[in-house]
Amino acid sequence: MAAFEVVRSHVTQHQRGLATGIANMGGFVGALTIVFLIGLILDSLGAGTPETYTLEAFRWAMASHIPVILLGILMIALLYPKAKRALTGRAQTS
């Protein structure tokens, strides 16, 4: 929900629909990526059926959240200064 608030308050009205769609898509793409990675890791660790899943396989599979979360934090850290400069420039020209 925070992404939609950022879109509402920082995107011009004629671009708001596109920005809302991209923000909405980001959450779903992230969730699907995690589900895919979990399945891929479980399969690669030899867990063919639910009866053969091991605790160690689940630990590795659930650790797949960490790189995705770190990528999100990295992208925020990289893009925040650029967005702040753009907003500051837009506020000064208004």
The predicted pLDDT at position 63 comes to 93
Range of the domain at 22: 1-91
Of residues 51 and 64, which shows the higher confidence score?
64
For 22-46, the pLDDT digits (tens) are 988 988 888 898 999 999 998 888 7
Rounded Cα distance, 65 and 32, in Å: 11
Backbone angles phi, psi at 27, to 5 degrees: -65, -40
Backbone angles phi, psi at 30, to 5 degrees: -60, -45
Q: Is 34 in contact with 28 (CB distance < 8 Å)? A: no
Report residue 1 as tokens.
């929900």
b/e per residue, 12-49, with b = 16+ CB within 10 A?
eeeeeeebeeebeeeeeeeeeebeebbeebbeebebee
Number of domains in the chain: 1
- State pTM to two decimals: 0.64
